[in-house]
Amino acid sequence: MGTTYPRGTIIGPYEIVSLMPSGKGGMGAVYLARPRPKYAAGSPPLVALKMAYGSHNDFLKYEIEHMERMSHPNILRVLPIPYVGTNHGRPVFIAKAEPDNPKSPFYIVVEYMRGGSIEQLLKQRKRLTPSEAVEIASQVAAGLEHIHSYNVIHLDIKDSNILLRKPLSRFGAHKPEVVISDFGISWSTDRRQLATVYGSQFYTAPERAAGGPPHPQNDIFSLGALLYEMLVGRPPFTSVVVPGTQIMEHSRPSVLNPQVSPDLERVIMKALATEPAYRYQNIQQFQADLANLPKITRPGRVRLPLLQGTREYLIIGLSSVAVLLLALILTVVSLNASIAELEEGHVATTSTAVVMPTATAANLNVLEVEASATVSIPDPPTATPAAGRPTSTSISGGPSSVDSATAPGSRATSTTIPPTNTAAPTP
């Protein structure tokens, strides 16, 4: 762990205001700072100083290499340091916190995001509405499209690396504005030496966790895991048994949040497919499906999901109830008529017998009526109850595996992605 700088410490042209919430870790720290009066002209009133400790300075250098050449509304903006001296006439984006100290951490300056991170938001809200989650995921996808256009793969999309420009108190009243941060472990074609598998265990694609080469689909999987987490309140995969091996077993998001529509669920499960062949092949496909989602995901309109087969079971169940009621009515009418005729000494030459079909999916909607030449007073009909609605859906995992929590009172289930998702359904 490196040095912690107290309030008032002078770091180059900046003065430390405070350590950011959750801003200190094993690799470095993030401080809220303001420019000193001499350098205040043209500078934001508050900025964030990101520092790295020891050997982790290399990650900061890689980060600045990628960030300084990208400009996109959904990517955190790195700011030039108004420092004394120049870098051969170019802006200076990285410097030592203590120039005269050989062990000093390096730092970069980035925009201050007043809204905090998605991680902080979820701690307060537990989960987001579908419209909020889809909007955030769409903006992250737009940022990833720009990143991938530079042949760069982020490799660390997760809740703490997605930041909000606006305060949490204003989030519900305004369209969220999000940015992608932290390019420390990002990969590009000119960084082939990145052999070690870095990433966050709950968001890393299984093929990457197994040591496979970086690929844009790694970011798609991570974004799918983030979208799941925003809707459910936890990542889809919540433990690791062996480093690099996840137990790919989890509940479908609609099981844990009934506001998740079937269309939205299919998008999430495709993004989370454990086999890359069944996952979105590029971020543009993911973006297109998010953009084409029906507006049923708007907050305030709750639509209970009907998973595969559920609609049919519902129709069959209602049909069986209608059949039973009709049979009961006909039986009572027939019985009363027959008794009345017998009491009056009349013999009926015909009668109606209600034949109940067996309660199967093929014939529950059928009511057969046959004519008989003899008097009959039918016994109350019986019927096999309709098949019950399935209570869970199986999801089978892919090449890697992670234990997952399930909804209270329910068993952990697994999901199988059909040949649109055979190995997995799907950060």
Instruction: Tell me the pLDDT tens digit for each residue of 121-131.
Output: 999 999 999 99
Domain that holds residue 355: 310-372
Q: How many domains does the chain have?
A: 3
- CATH code assigned at 103: 3.30.200.20
Are both 17 and 97 inside the same structural domain?
A: yes
**79 vs 396, higher pLDDT:** 79
Amino acid type, 137: A
pLDDT band of residue 86 (cuts 50, 70, 90) is low
Are both 267 and 341 inside the same structural domain?
A: no
Residue 313 in this model has a pLDDT that exceeds 50 = no
Kindly state whether residue 303 falls inside one of the protein's structural domains.
no
Are both 126 and 267 inside the same structural domain?
A: yes
Are both 20 and 150 inside the same structural domain?
A: no
Kindly state whether residue 396 falls inside one of the protein's structural domains.
no
Are both 162 and 205 inside the same structural domain?
A: yes
Kindly state whether residue 366 falls inside one of the protein's structural domains.
yes
Kindly state whether residue 20 falls inside one of the protein's structural domains.
yes
Kindly state whether residue 423 falls inside one of the protein's structural domains.
no
Cβ contacts of residue 37 below 8 Å, gap of 6+? Answer: none
- CA distances to 332, 350, 376 from 347, rounded to whole Å, are 18, 9, 11
Residue 51 in this model has a pLDDT that exceeds 60 = yes
User: Which is it for strands 95-96 and 162-164: parallel, antiparallel or unpaired?
Assistant: unpaired
Kindly state whether residue 415 falls inside one of the protein's structural domains.
no
233-236 — which CB contacts under 8 Å span 24+ positions?
233/122, 233/126, 233/127, 233/257, 234/405, 235/202, 235/203, 235/427, 236/202, 236/272, 236/404, 236/426, 236/427
Are both 224 and 89 inside the same structural domain?
A: no
pLDDT band of residue 382 (cuts 50, 70, 90) is very low
Are both 19 and 46 inside the same structural domain?
A: yes
- Domain end point (choices 355, 372, 389): 372
Are both 249 and 264 inside the same structural domain?
A: yes
- Domain end point (choices 88, 111, 134): 111
Are both 143 and 270 inside the same structural domain?
A: yes
As given in the structure block, the two tokens for residue 150 are 């530079």
Residue 402 in this model has a pLDDT that exceeds 90 = no
Are both 179 and 33 inside the same structural domain?
A: no
Residue 413 in this model has a pLDDT that exceeds 90 = no
Are both 145 and 203 inside the same structural domain?
A: yes
Kindly state whether residue 203 falls inside one of the protein's structural domains.
yes
pLDDT in tens, 192-224: 555 455 667 789 999 998 888 999 999 999 999
Contact 153, 190 (CB under 8 A): no
